[in-house]
């Protein structure tokens, strides 16, 4: 792993997985990747504002992005959006995959089938896509079955996406560590 500046190619399709812990700077890094690229900037939000704290987090992200972004809110059908709504001139930030995973689990959806569908949709997507996701497997073993299942599903999802994405970056203390590049 090396610390490096990373940039998206001038044209798509291209995919990047950005991983990091809570408050590591991964969303800001992903936003910068998108903002430095030519094309229409699309933000796909997977968060749902279930409470005041989550509404505050969403508001913070919206203010930081500003008005130069188009917004698609999609908590579950992420693959459908990538497959049917994204064009070659668009650069997409998906924030975040672990919230999407949480939404799928809460809706009792088949995780493997949805990750398969996401990977299939990514292969068909004409735009450049930056996925943001929380790396949750580096802490202590959770004390309950649901949290352990979430950690395990997130780890499997990350491995599968890292395998098909063109690039992967880990953010630690705001610094990018390039794990994979073309």
- Here the contacts of 170-173 (C-beta below 8 Å, separation 24 or greater) are 170/1, 170/18, 170/19, 170/20, 170/135, 171/18, 171/19, 171/20, 171/24, 171/25, 171/26, 171/29, 172/20, 172/21, 172/24, 173/24, 173/25
Specify whether 61 is catalytic: yes
Q: Hey, what domains does the chain have and what are their CATH numbers?
A: 13-180 (3.40.50.300)
For 103-153, the pLDDT digits (tens) are: 999 999 999 999 999 999 999 999 999 999 999 988 888 899 999 999 999
Which of 41, 60, 61, 158 does the annotation list as catalytic? 61
pTM equals 0.90
């Amino acid at each position: 792993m090396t610390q490096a500046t990373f940039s998206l190619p001038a044209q798509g399709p291209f995919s990047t997985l950005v991983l990091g812990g809570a408050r590591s700077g991964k969303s800001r890094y992903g936003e910068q990747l998108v903002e430095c690229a030519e094309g229409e900037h699309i933000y796909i939000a997977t968060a749902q504002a279930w409470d005041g704290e989550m509404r505050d987090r969403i508001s913070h992200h919206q203010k930081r992005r500003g008005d130069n972004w188009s917004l698609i809110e999609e908590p579950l059908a992420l693959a459908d959006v990538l497959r049917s709504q994204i064009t070659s001139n668009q650069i997409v930030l998906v924030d975040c995959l672990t919230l999407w995973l949480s939404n799928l689990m809460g809706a009792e959806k088949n995780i493997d089938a949805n990750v398969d569908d996401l990977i299939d949709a990514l292969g068909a997507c004409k735009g450049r896509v930056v996925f943001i996701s929380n790396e949750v497997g580096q802490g202590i073993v959770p004390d309950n079955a649901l949290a352990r299942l979430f950690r395990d599903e997130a780890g499997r999802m990350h491995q599968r996406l890292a395998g098909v994405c063109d690039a992967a970056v880990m953010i630690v203390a705001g610094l990018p560590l390039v794990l994979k590049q073309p």
